[in-house]
Amino acid sequence: MQEGSTNQEGAYLEVKEISCIGILEIPLIEEAWPVQSEYEDGKYMPKCESGSAESGNLVIKDSLRGGLFRSISVLNEGMEVRFTDIWGEVYTYNIVSVSEKANRSSDGDLVLVTQNRYTGNEKRIYLDSV
């Protein structure tokens, strides 16, 4: 990560000139992504769709082009996912359920969302804090 900054909406760090709120990691499959605070044209990073790790209602959506979270299809209940915010606070979660229903409301401390850009089908993975 690069320099830190604060704007009116909160704190963030910049990664390649993109404001990010932290890093999402899935240790079992050795994947990690910076999570941007909002979609920016031409950027291929997941984004914070809503909530925060601190409040226990963080929703992270795949990049606009999709495909970054393809590897999450191999995840099963009980697997660990971590989110590290810009202050270095590490939040650890375990998967509690996977849903193919786009209309289901968030019922986890962390929700990962991926959408098939060709069919529009959405997959949500719900996680609870450890």
Do residues 108 and 117 touch, judged by C-beta distance below 8 A?
A: no
pTM of the prediction?
Answer: 0.79
Distance CA 109, CA 8 (A): 25
- Render each residue's pLDDT in the chain as its tens digit; 130 residues: 334 444 435 566 777 778 889 999 988 888 899 999 877 765 678 999 888 898 888 999 887 676 777 777 677 777 899 999 988 999 999 988 877 665 445 567 888 888 777 777 778 888 888 8
| pLDDT of res. 60 | 92
Q: Using CA of residue 32, residue 117, residue 94, residue 15, what is the dihedral sign?
A: positive
